[in-house]
Amino acid sequence: MKRRFTILSQYPEIKDLYGHDILTLYIAIIGVIIQVTAAYIFGRLLVNSDLTMLFVSFILGGTMTQIYSIIIHETAHNLAAKADFQNRIVGLIANIPLPIPIAMSFRRHHLVHHAFQGVEKLDPDLPSELEKNFGCSTVFKLLWLLFHPIIYPIRNVSMFRNLQLWEYINLIFTLSTNIVLYNFCGYRGLLYLFMSLWFGYSVHPVAARYIQEHYTFDDGQETYSYYGSFNTIFMNIGYHTEHHDFTNIPWTKLPEVRKIAPEYYENLAYHTSWFMAQWNFITLRQFGLQNRVKRSFNAHKRGRKMLLKVLKKSLES
């Protein structure tokens, strides 16, 4: 909050970057076509190519799954279209090749994450105490990543037990699209989509962004960006510090924030390789689920209150 206020006071032109980008919708539609086509090929044509399906579900399917998750992330912040309803529809479109209802629950949980980042028992992105109790061995961390598609929703369900209207809509929508996909692509096609989802949210290299974003690799720093070449393919999702500072700037314009105000970002630690972030997290004992900045709700309230006082004095001076 403080950095955002300071940057805006010095560079008010950043507000010109606020808005949405309809390009996200077009990418979602193209992505759905690509993945459903692949599901049809493995479900109806290459019915005896199990190893090929396994390989493609990791390379292509995992990649497309990450792109859908990024699109869903954009819609959670209403950055894909002008209206809230339109963004929810784009989110549902991106959910079509994902055979689990993700879009609306992610939207709900992710906005809570932004409001209460690092706050114990409120931030759904924080690993639970049960998860951390298993230690930080290489084997456990590898298993934790492998089963992340199950661990993450279980954690969120334990925190948000009552589904909201749009989550029910998402559930019905996904069940309906799964029936259509089953009839069109067969059970192997649907299996391909499940495998793609599993790889995309677990051990796929781009899934390392879940580690990159908030696991502390540098003492005291809570949020990290990734400035590698894959930002071009994966919709600038690596610009995570910039995103947390300005949640109303769409992905196509996030790099402009760093260009306009470089002095506020170049002195921060950042990643240049998702693979190395994932590798270091798995293999080095000093990195593990305990590497998250945490605070109590009372500490969160006190910090916000103090910061608001400082900002108020700055405005008055």
- Provide the 3-class DSSP secondary structure of residue 202: coil
Residues with Cβ within 8 Å of 90's Cβ and at least 6 positions away in sequence, in order, are: 24, 25, 28, 71, 74, 75, 80, 81
- Provide the 3-class DSSP secondary structure of residue 295: strand
Q: Which residue type occupies 299?
A: A
pLDDT of residue 218: 76
Going by C-alpha positions, the residue among 7, 20, 19, 185 that lies closest to residue 96 is: 185
Residues with Cβ within 8 Å of 63's Cβ and at least 6 positions away in sequence, in order, are: 200, 204, 206
Residues with Cβ within 8 Å of 249's Cβ and at least 6 positions away in sequence, in order, are: 14, 17, 18, 19, 79, 242, 243, 257
Biggest distance spanned by C-alpha atoms of the chain: 73
pLDDT of residue 117: 92
| pTM, two decimal places | 0.94
Instruction: Assess contact for 29 and 93: CB atoms under 8 A.
Output: yes
Residues with Cβ within 8 Å of 31's Cβ and at least 6 positions away in sequence, in order, are: 64, 67, 68, 71, 94, 97
Q: Please give the chain's pLDDT, 317 residues, in tens.
A: 678 999 999 999 999 999 999 999 999 999 999 999 999 999 999 999 999 999 999 999 999 999 999 999 999 999 999 999 999 999 999 999 999 999 999 999 999 999 999 999 899 999 988 888 877 899 999 999 999 999 998 898 888 878 999 999 999 999 999 999 999 999 999 999 999 999 999 999 999 999 999 999 877 799 999 999 999 999 999 999 999 999 999 999 999 999 999 999 999 999 999 999 999 999 998 899 999 999 988 888 777 776 666 555 555 55
In angstroms, what CA-CA distances link 206 with 62, 66, 93, 152? 9, 7, 21, 17
- Between CA 181 and CA 89 the distance in angstroms is 19
pLDDT of residue 300: 81
Give me the sign of the Cα torsion angle 258, 260, 265, 267. positive
Look-up of token digits 């500072």: 245
Residues with Cβ within 8 Å of 302's Cβ and at least 6 positions away in sequence, in order, are: none
- Between CA 155 and CA 237 the distance in angstroms is 23
Q: Where are the beta strands (DSSP E) in the chain?
A: 225-226, 270-271
- Between CA 22 and CA 258 the distance in angstroms is 22
Going by C-alpha positions, the residue among 261, 263, 246 that lies closest to residue 17 is: 246
Q: Is 209 left (phi over 0), alpha (psi -120 to 50) or beta?
A: alpha
- Structure-token pair, residue 279: 């590798």
pLDDT of residue 307: 60
For residue 303, the cross-strand partners are: none
pLDDT of residue 91: 99
pLDDT of residue 277: 95
Please state at what angle helix 148-159 crosses helix 138-146, rounded to 10 degrees.
70
pLDDT of residue 306: 65
